[in-house]
Amino acid sequence: MTADGRPHFGDLNPPTRILLAPGPTALPPSVIQALIAPITGHKDPFFLKVMDETANLLRYVYQTGNHTCMSLPGTGGAGMEASLANLIQPGDTAVVCVSGLFGERMANIVRRVGGTPKIVSAPWGKPVDPDDVRKELRNGDVRVIAAVQGETSTGVEQPLDEIGRIAQEHGAMLIVDAVATLGGMRVEPDRWGSAICYSASQKCLGAPPGVSTVTVSDQAMDYIRGRKSEVDCWYLDLDLHDRYWFAEERLYHHTAPVLLVYALREALRLIVAEGLETRYARHRIHQEALAAGLEAMEFELFADPKYRLPTVLSVCVPEGVNDSRVRSRLLDEFNIEISGGLGEFAGKMWRIGIMGYSATRSNMLTFLSAVEGLMADEGYGSPSGTAVRAANAVYAAHAGEPGLAEPLAFVPAE
C-alpha cells in the first residue's frame, strides 16, 4: 500500500516461456505487433475491412466455400456452445461422440440447451467407431451429430469421413470441434458435409486466446434463421453475428475485441504465406521426432498409434515418477510448460502440444534434453543424449523437406 492507502504493484514483467502445452502457443512477432497496433472502433470502416479480410482468410484455412466464416468473442468453448445452442432446439436429440473430456463437455451443453444427448463412447485413447454412431441413428430422429476431430485430453484423432456420410444419410447436421487441429492438420468441413465447424485462436492458428472461429454451411444458416424457437443464448446467436459480419448494414451486436481480431487476421495471413501443406508437414515431422525421442527413453505413448494427433502428444507418466514435481521443475528450471492429464488420468499423463509457432525443432530438442535430465533425477534414466539422438534421426530422414523449415515469423505483404 502507498502512504495514502492506494494499492501498489510493480510493472508487469511476465517470464518468457517455451509453451508446449496444448495451447496457448507462442506468438509470432508480427502477431504481437498486431496486438499493439492503433485501435479503432468496431464499426470503423478500417476494422470492417479487417473483418472482411479475416473472413476470406478463414475460408482458405478451413478450405471451405461457406459464406459464413467469422470469429466469435470468447475461447473455443464459445464456438462449442454457439454451435450446439444454434442447431439444437428443446426436445431435439443429438448423438455425441465421446472419447475424452471435450466430447463429454459437448454432451453437457446439449442437456443445458434442452436437448437429449445420445452418447456414443470409446475408451480414452481410441476414436469412436462410426458403426456405433450408425446404430444410434436407427433409434429415432436425430437433429445433430457432434464429434471432436482432435481430442485435446487424449491426443486422439477422430476420423470424420464416415461419420459425415452417416449424418448426410440420416438428414442430421454434423458439428465438428477442430479446436486442436485447425491450422495444424487437414480440416475439411465441406468434404465432411459439416453444418458447423469451429476452432479457437490460441492453438495451431498461433494467435492469442480470446476468440473462437466458426464456419457455418449455408443450409445450417437457413435452418438457424428459420428456427421455431429463438436461440436461447442471445450473445452467441449466430444469425446476429452473421448480420454484423456480412450484412450490408453491419447490424450492431457487440463491441468486437478489435485487437484480437487484428491478431487473428495476422496469424491467418502467416498460415496462408507458409502454405497449408507445408504447415501440416511441419506439425507432423515435429510430432514424429518428439515421439521418437520419448520412446527412446522408454516412455509409453498413450493414444492408439493409428489415430495419434500430429498436434497433441499424450504420454503416460512412468510408474514411480512424480508428475507434478517434474512438470514444476520443467517450468521453474527450463521455462517449459506442458500439461498434465485430465479426469481419471490426472497425475498419470502428460499432454504435449506441437502447435503453431511453438512447433519448432529447437523446442522439441530442448524439451527432450530437459526431460532426460529430470527423469534421471527421478530414478528413471536412459543413457545421456538418447532422446535427442532419436529425434535428430527423424529430422535427418526429413532433411530438405519444406515442413522442416522454421515457422514464418513475418511475411511482408505483396
In this predicted structure, what is the pLDDT of residue 414? 66
Q: In whole angstroms, give the CA distance from residue 255 to residue 266.
A: 20
Q: Which residue has better confidence, 182 or 2? A: 182
Q: In whole angstroms, give the CA distance from residue 129 to residue 163.
A: 9
CA 58 to mean position of chain CA atoms: 14
Q: Which residue has the cell 492506494?
A: 6
Instruction: With H, G, I as helix, E, B as strand and everything else as coil, classify residue 211.
Output: strand
Second-level CATH architecture of 29-273: 3-Layer(aba) Sandwich (3.40)
Cell numbers given for 274: 507458409
Average pLDDT value for residue range 209-237: 97
CATH 3.40.640.10 domain extents, the chain: 29-273
Q: Is 287 exposed, middle or buried (0-12, 13-18, 19+ CB in 10 A)?
A: buried
CATH 3.90.1150.10 domain extents, the chain: 276-403
pLDDT exceeds cutoff 90 at 166 = yes
Q: What percentage of the chain exceeds 70 in pLDDT?
A: 100
> Does the domain made of 276-403 have the CATH classification 3.30.590.10?
no
Q: pLDDT of 70-101, one tens digit each?
A: 999 999 999 999 999 999 999 999 999 999 99
Kindly give the interhelix angle for 218-225 and 76-87, rounded to the nearest 10 degrees: 60
Q: In whole angstroms, give the CA distance from residue 100 to residue 219.
A: 29
Q: In whole angstroms, give the CA distance from residue 410 to residue 414.
A: 12
Count Cβ atoms below 10 Å from residue 77 Cβ, excluding itself: 15
In this predicted structure, what is the pLDDT of residue 383? 83
Closest by CA to 18, choosing from 343, 371, 410, is: 371
Beta bridge partners of residue 305, listed in sequence order: none
